[in-house]
Structure 1
Amino acid sequence: MSDNTRFACNGKHFTLIRHPAKHQHVSLQAWDSADELIIDHIHTALNGSVGECIIFNDDFGTLGCYFAAQTPCWVSDSWIAHRSLADNLAGNDIPMQLAADERVASPVKAIDCLAPLPASPDTVIIKIPRTLALLEHQLIALQKVITPHTTVIAGAKVKTITRSVLALFERYIGSTNTSLAKKKSRLIFTTVSEENIAQTATSPYPTTWQTEAQNGQPLTITNHANVFSRQSLDIGARFLLAHMSVTNNERIIDLGCGNGVLGLNALALAPQAKVTFVDESFMALASAKANVAANFPDALGQCEFIPSNCLDGLKQKQVSNFSKVFCNPPFHQQNAITDHIAWQMFTDARTVLARGGQLVVVGNRHLDYHVKLKRIFGGVTQLASHQKFVILCSAKR
């Protein structure tokens, strides 16, 4: 096992991976210096005891594993984070149980960001997420359950701890200060204010806005806090919408669906098509389901909403009868720029497509997706292009 999987802190030793381990780049590891600072502070200031604890946004389960013996509630919007937690508990011989939805049930209680939080926690640990709106959603939810006796500790890379981040803690929780920077990370300490938690703020999320499908049909779009392009249609999706082709007898996948706008467009073009929405974000899937219900309520029965790392969930079922996969791939995982997600999305799509089925991808020109697609599928066709984006199509032979 390589050095980037061995984590040691305050006398505890773990082997930690990023799910899926087979795609983990040798330069990436499952923890960062903010995890170490949080653990060191709790060891020093709280004698290692967190009591009744809630842990937010633990990217790959490092904090969940470290504090597993204290049975924390563990909150993440990411399916990959949930799978990483399960993998790392198992990989370190920590006895665990999984719930029916494959999330960890014990010793860590793993939930998503739309589930209710346990009341009156002694300690709250927050890894600052990439999305400011998600942090705001979480702090508003916390405001309803914390007490003046709750210890609130947050951590992140220095560049992530902006004035906007600190202002959210001040607004919803109480007076806030930070530690000195160490290894390019620092901590946030917030003293819970009785006045703040008495406010019970109303969340501005989810947000709702209007757009239209390729055929002009109006669409009402609802986006939860952690969903990409939360207030309008992003440029890549808008470009792909104009060039989608779907017929009623097709089974399609909206891969990395976000709010589900590509799948919604498919239903507008072909009301009897069967659409599978796949994303690793629970908030994305909740948004997509709400949007189908609002715009195509009669089509809910022909739609699926699957949390998955790329298309692992469908590959495990050995499904290979889809006619089209539409995809606007991400090129980052948490704070790391990476192309392995696009690679896996493309190879997974080839696996689940029927012979002759097509993968249709939109992406920035500079990402060179045509090279990857040609290697995986043996050929690629450019369907459309403009100054910034290109739409590519590869068929399974």
Structure 2
Amino acid sequence: MKPELTLHGRSLRLQRYPVRNRETLQAWDAADEYLINQVEAMKEAKQPALTPERPIVILNDGFGALACWFAAQANVVSSGDSYIARKASEANLADNNLSAVTFTDCLAPLPENPQLVLIKLPKNNRLLIWQLAQLCAALPDDCTVIAAAKAKDIHTSTLKLFEKHLGPTSTSLAVKKARLIFCKPDKTLATAMPDIQRWDVPEYNLTLTNHANVFSGESLDIGARLLLEHIPQDPKLKTIIDLGCGNGVIGLHAARLNPEARITCVDESYMAVASCRENADLNLTNRNQLTAKVDNCLESMINEDADLVLCNPPFHQQNTITDHIAWQMFCDAKRCLRRHGRLIVIGNRHLGYDGKLKRLFAKVHPIAQNNKFVVYQAEK
């Protein structure tokens, strides 16, 4: 796959993160190109006339294409919920010798007096509503707001969310199957930020807090429910990792079953990690038993330190369906496990995780299954 984005006489070398051999996916899409082309056309017409004094805010920049393009034009603030997107942006900025960009997560306040906001639509409407509410409270009247996505992902309901939470909205024609949304901020629509979801799991005596972008943030998903039934209770377990932790429900139950174990919950979503930390404080007697951190799988974890890794892998990255994240999770789990350490992983039956696991682990066998999911145990 070509790594060069070339537009308006400029070329950027852009790569996804982590960099993989024989990568088949680009680090940008037609929506990124449409946003860039639109802003460049508006600049030529001097509307808006971008100035270096006021920030440009970019939301949900997938791999840094937008941050790289606008880094030299103004003070760019890139906000999103993905640690991997941030790492990709940082790497691409460095590879292209571009100016530094300020990175924040979705829970941080937006900068004052931005002149331009560019949004890549998130998959999750709860996150979109959160971000629109943030914008409505923060934006001056003269700020230009443009969002972009694949045309098939922009629905009438999407436009109504913009109208309800930010201001008058219109849309563009489709170009290369991408479409733009234009919105004029209306401060009279500003309201309090949306309530954080909180619900109980009575059979495990847990109360779970869920920020806007947490996977299955409105109820306990059926995969996690099956995995909860098969978390071991063993005094020999001293170090347990919940990999791809979401709101932390798996790590919390593991902590209660194994009160002497040290639990580390890891996710690439800042909102997931914040939710997990809040849930540990809310549900555990010893709050210090659990650590929650953002990471790219287990990239920053030391080798051969864990006795048990629990994992419910995603099979998509942003809007792309892929199995490379699960593969990286399995490889990282093997590296971080001690000899005879175990990985317990749940997956949809059709994903065939047993084939991947058998390439890495000495012993692999199913320990539970139903008509949709299989729980595998793999031993190093």
Question: TM-score category by the smaller chain?
Answer: over 0.9
Instruction: Name 2:163's counterpart in structure 1.
Output: 170
Shift of 1:205: 3.6
Whole-Å separation in 2 of the counterparts to 1:66 and 1:375: 41
Unaligned runs of 5+ in 1: 96-106
| Alpha-carbon distance, 1:379 to partner | 2.7
The equivalent of 1:383 in structure 2 is 367
Partner of 1:242: 229
Which residue does 1:11 correspond to in 2? 9
Q: Determine the structure 2 residue equivalent to 1:103.
A: none
The equivalent of 1:67 in structure 2 is 70
Which residue in the other structure is 1:57 paired with? Answer: 60
Task: Render the CA deviation track for 1:241-270: whole Å, top value 9, x for unaligned.
Answer: 011113344210000000000001112212
What's the CA shift for 1:49? 5.2
Q: Does residue 144 of the first structure (1) align with residue 137 of the second (2)? A: yes
Equivalence for 2:319: 335
Matching residue's letter, 1:7: L
Match of 2:249 in 1: 261
Which of 214, 224, 242 matches 1:227? Answer: 214
Instruction: Tell me, yes or no, if structure 1 residue 45 matches structure 2 residue 71.
Output: no
Tell me how far apart the structure 1 counterparts of residues 128 and 2 of structure 2 sit (CA, whole Å): 28
Q: Secondary structure at the match of 1:359?
A: strand
* 2:330 alignment partner in structure 1: 346
* 1:279 shift after superposition: 0.4
Amino acid corresponding to residue 275 of structure 1 in structure 2:
I
The answer on whether the counterparts of 1:78 and 1:281 sit within 8 Å (CA) in structure 2 is: yes
| Secondary structure at 1:230 match in 2 | coil
- Residues 1:289 and 2:277 aligned together: yes
Of 180-189 and 246-255, deviating more is: 246-255
- Opposite residue 54 of structure 1, the aligned amino acid is V
Aligned counterparts of 1:359 and 1:130: Cα–Cα separation in 2: 29
2: CA distance, partners of 1:281 / 1:173:
25
* Aligned partner (choices 322, 339, 346) of residue 362 of structure 1: 346
Structure 1 counterpart of 2:127, from 128, 134, 138 = 134
Q: State the partner residue of 1:79.
A: 83
For residues 226 and 244 of structure 1, the distance between their equivalents in structure 2, rounded to whole angstroms, comes to: 25
Sequence identity (%): 46
Hey, what does 2:239 align to over in structure 1?
251
What SS is found at the alignment partner of 2:286?
helix
Q: Which secondary structure does the structure 1 equivalent of 2:277 belong to?
A: helix
Say if 2:79 is the partner of 1:91. Answer: no
- TM-fit CA distance, 1:12: 1.4
* Structure-2 residue corresponding to 1:101: none
Give the conservation status (yes or no) of the 8 Å contact 1:53–1:73.
yes
Distance in 2 (alpha carbons) for counterparts of 1:42 and 1:50: 10
Quote the residue 2:191 is aligned against: 201
Matched to 2:61, the amino acid is D
* Alpha-carbon distance in 1 for matches of 2:50, 2:310: 44
TM-score, normalised to structure 2, is 0.95
Asked if structure 2 preserves the Cα contact closer than 8 Å seen for 1:43 and 1:49, the reply is no
For 2:116, the equivalent position in structure 1 comes to 123
Helix, strand or coil: the match of 1:376? coil
CA contact (8 A) 2:245 2:266 kept: yes
CA RMSD of aligned residues (A): 1.4
Q: Structure 2: 5+ residue runs without aligned partners? A: none
AA aligned opposite 2:24: S
Moved more, 203-212 or 319-328: 203-212
Residue aligned with 1:20, SS: coil
1:187 to 176, 180, 187: 180
**TM-score, length basis structure 1:** 0.91
Count of aligned pairs between the two proteins: 372
The Cα offsets for residues 212-261 of structure 1, whole Å up to 9 and x where unpaired, read as 4xxx4410000000011011110100001011113344210000000000
Measured after TM superposition, the shift of residue 378 of structure 1 is 3.0
* Residue matched to 1:210: 200
Instruction: Give yes or no for contact 1:4–1:26 (8 Å, CA) kept in 2.
Output: no
Q: 1:189 to 1:319 in 2, by over 3 A?
A: same
Deviation of the 1:168 alpha carbon = 1.1
